[in-house]
Structure 1
C-alpha cells in the first residue's frame, strides 16, 4: 500500500456546521417539554404528550428494535464502497478506499476495512446493507433533514415521530416500550402522544433523592402530591412511578462493557446500556441511540489517519460487542443504522466531503436476510456537486422492519406511504 502524506493540521477539526454549534441540550429539552408533559426522574425523562396515554405494567417484548442514528451525515460511499464504479476513484483521488483492502466484496460493493468486527455477522447472514437510500427529496440542512426523517410523515402538521407511532402499535402503553438512551432528550422519532422514556444510563432511572438515606420519604411525598392529579402532567408522573418500579430488574443486571470488549466511546457505553435493558426483558420494544461526529467536511482521511477511520472502527466494534453481550436475548433484537443524508461524491480541498443526498443503511440481527447488499445505485458522476441519487426511500426499508419484526401496521407508522419491496427482511 502506498503511504499517503498527511496534510498539515494542528488540531482535530471542530464540527463544521453552525447548526451543531447553535444547538444546546437545554434548548432541545425545553422544546420537547413545551409540546407535552414531561416528568423528570433523576437523570431520566418520561414524556407523555396527551392525557389519554395511561401507564400500564411492563411486560416482556417478543421483538426489540434498536435504531442507531449516525448524526452529522455519514458518508455511505466510504462505509460501503461502490468499487466497481470508476467515477468513485476519479472523484476521490486522495481519500478513496483501495479496492484491495475492502471486505465482503461482491463485484460491486465492499465494506470499509475498519468494519472488520462486523464480518462474523455478515458471514452468518445477520448483517446487510441497503445503498442509495434516503428522503424523497434532497435536504442538506442537518436538523431539517433529521426532523423530516424522524417524523416520516411529509406534509403533516402533527408533531409525532414514526417510532412514537410504532410504540402506539405495541400492546399496552408503558413508557418502557419506547426508550431513548442518550442524556434524557427525547428525539423527534420518539416524540408524540404515546409515553416514552429517555435516560443517559440504566442507573439514572430513579427519583432524585430517593436513596438509602432518604428511607422512602421523598417517594412517599411525590405519591401524595401526584397520585390524585389529573391531566397530562399527572399522567406522566404516574407513568414515571410505574416505570421506575418496573425498571428495577434492569438495574440488577450487570454492565458487561469491559467483559464484552466495548470500545471506551460514547457509542460503546450507550450500547452496553442498551444490552442491559434488553437483557432485563421488562417490555422495552424500541430503543434509540446516537453516534455523532459524522459531519466530516474536513479530514475524512485515509486508511492511515482521519475521522472516517476512527468512526467506522468505533461503529463496528460497538455493534459487534453489543450483539455478543445480548446473550440469550440476541435472537429477538434487530438493529438499524442510518443517517439524515449522505455526502457528495467528490472530495473537497480539505480532505473532506460536503453535504450530499443518498446514503447507505445497515441492518443487523433478527430477521435480517444478511450477507448481501441491497438497493440500486445509479452510475456515479465525479463532478464537484454530484450526489448519490436516492433510488430507495428509507421508509421502504423501515416498513419491512416494523411489519415483519413488530407486527405493526405500515399505514399507521408511515401514513400515506406506499413502500417498494426491498427484500432485506424475512417474516417472523
Structure 2
C-alpha cells in the first residue's frame, strides 16, 4: 500500500489499524476529567455543574458515524454518469439492480430494508457532501468534521456546542452508545455520558452483597468535599446514574416486531431505542459503525465487505425506527463519514481515500424519498475524486436550525450555510 499524498504520509491502512488503540488514548487525553461506574463513563471539562433533574426531550438527534470512510459512490450510485461504470468495471453496481432509481441515482440493493422509510418520505440522501478541502487522513479528517470550527483553538465539538445552546445541563442530554469514549463531536464544556449498553450504567461494586448502599455512601463521603475537576465529575456521574434509573425499567427486548441484525451496530441501535423509550431527557445520541476502509475486498453484489456492511447498516436502521414505533416521530438520524473514496477502483477490488461522499438523513422532519445536492460529474482519471458541492455543515445546519430551532451560528461559528432543502 502506498503513502497517501494528502493529509499525511503514513500508509492509510496502517493508520486506520491503529485507530482503536491510538484514537482511544488520544481522545481520553482531550476529555478532561472522567468518572467510570461499571462500563459507563461521564466526561466533563471540569467546569460543568452537576447533573440537573431530567426532563423529557421533545426531539432527538442520532448521529451515526460510518468510520473508515464509506464508499458513497456505491451506496448511492450515479448510474447516469458514464464515468462511474468506466471507472468501476468490477465493483460497480449494475443499474438494473438499483433501488429507488431516478434519472441520476439509485440505492445499493442491500439498502432494501430502508425502502419503507424512503417510500414514506422519511429517508433522503445528499450526495457530493464533505469537508471544504480534501483531507485523506482518517484521524485528521475525523477531528475536522467533529470539531467543525476550523482555526479555533477551543477543544469543543459541534454536538457539545449544540447541547450547550440552552441553560439546561445534564450528562444525559448527550449519550454515546456502544462503549469507549465519546467522539470528538461530543467533547466540550457540557457533560456527556458514554456506555456500552443500558445494563452497564451503574456504580461498580454496588451489588446484592453491599448492604444499605454502602458503596455509594462511601464514595459520596470520599468525593463530597473535593472541589477539583474529578470531584465535580464524580458528583455529576452519581446524579446521572440516579437519573438514568427509568431506562433500566424499560424491557430490553425490541418492540413492534423489530428484528436487529447480529453485530455491534444492531446491538448498539437496540440499546439506543431502549434509552429513548426511557424518556430521561436524552437529546443527542452518537453511535459508531466500522470498518468502512475498503482498500481491498470491497467486492461486488455477490461477495465482499461492502455488501455485508451495507446490509448491517440498513437492517439496523430499519429495525431501530420500527422498534421506536410512534416515538420515531421525534427522532432524526444522520449518517457521517470522514471522507469518501476515489472514483476508480484499484487492483484489489477496493477503492482508495477520496473526497466527496453521501449523507443519509432519516426520520422526523426529513424531506425524504428523494436525492438532494448538486451533482458535479465524475471523471475516470487515475486519481479522480467526487468533488464536494455541499459542505457537510450546511446539511447539519439545516438539521439543528429547522428541526431543533437552534442557531446554526452557535453550533458552527463563522460558517454561512447554504440551503440544501433536505429538512422541512
TM-score tier, shorter chain, comes to over 0.9
Deviating more after overlay: 23-32 vs 66-75: 23-32
Q: Distance in 2 between matches of 1:146 and 1:214?
A: 43
Does the CA contact (< 8 Å) of 2:27 and 2:184 recur in 1?
Answer: no
RMSD: 1.5
Q: Which aligned pairs between 1:108-147 and structure 2 lie closer than 5 A?
A: 108-147=104-143
Corresponding residue number in structure 2 for 1:180: 176
Corresponding residue number in structure 1 for 2:5: none
Match of 1:298 among 289, 296, 299: 296
What residue ranges of structure 1 are gaps of 5+ in the alignment? Answer: 1-14
Runs (4+) of structure 1 exceeding 6 A deviation are none
- Cα distance change of structure 1 residues 370 and 35 upon mapping to structure 2, 3 Å threshold: closer
Corresponding residue number in structure 2 for 1:228: 225
Does the CA contact (< 8 Å) of 2:27 and 2:181 recur in 1?
Answer: no
TM-score, scaled relative to structure 2 = 0.94
TM-score, scaled relative to structure 1 = 0.94
Deviating more after overlay: 224-233 vs 43-52: 224-233
Q: Which aligned pairs between 1:335-354 and structure 2 lie closer than 5 A?
A: 335-354=333-352
Match of 1:365 among 359, 363, 366: 363
Corresponding residue number in structure 2 for 1:388: 386
1:148-182 residue CA offsets vs partner (Å, 9 max, x unmatched): 00000001111111001111014411000011112
**Deviation of the 1:322 alpha carbon:** 0.2
Corresponding residue number in structure 2 for 1:399: 397
What residue ranges of structure 2 are gaps of 5+ in the alignment? Answer: 1-10
Q: Distance in 1 between matches of 2:23 and 2:158?
A: 22
Q: Which aligned pairs between 1:96-115 and structure 2 lie closer than 5 A?
A: 96-115=92-111
Q: Distance in 1 between matches of 2:422 and 2:107?
A: 17
Corresponding residue number in structure 1 for 2:376: 378
Q: Distance in 1 between matches of 2:159 and 2:375?
A: 28
Does the CA contact (< 8 Å) of 2:124 and 2:368 recur in 1?
Answer: yes
Does the CA contact (< 8 Å) of 1:25 and 1:185 recur in 2?
Answer: no
Number of equivalent positions: 412
Q: Which aligned pairs between 1:20-419 and structure 2 lie closer than 5 A?
A: 20-25=16-21, 28-29=24-25, 31-33=27-29, 35-215=31-211, 216-257=213-254, 260-419=258-417
Q: Distance in 2 between matches of 1:34 and 1:217?
A: 33
1:235-258 residue CA offsets vs partner (Å, 9 max, x unmatched): 211111111011111111122259
Q: Distance in 1 between matches of 2:26 and 2:12?
A: 25
**Deviation of the 1:54 alpha carbon:** 3.5
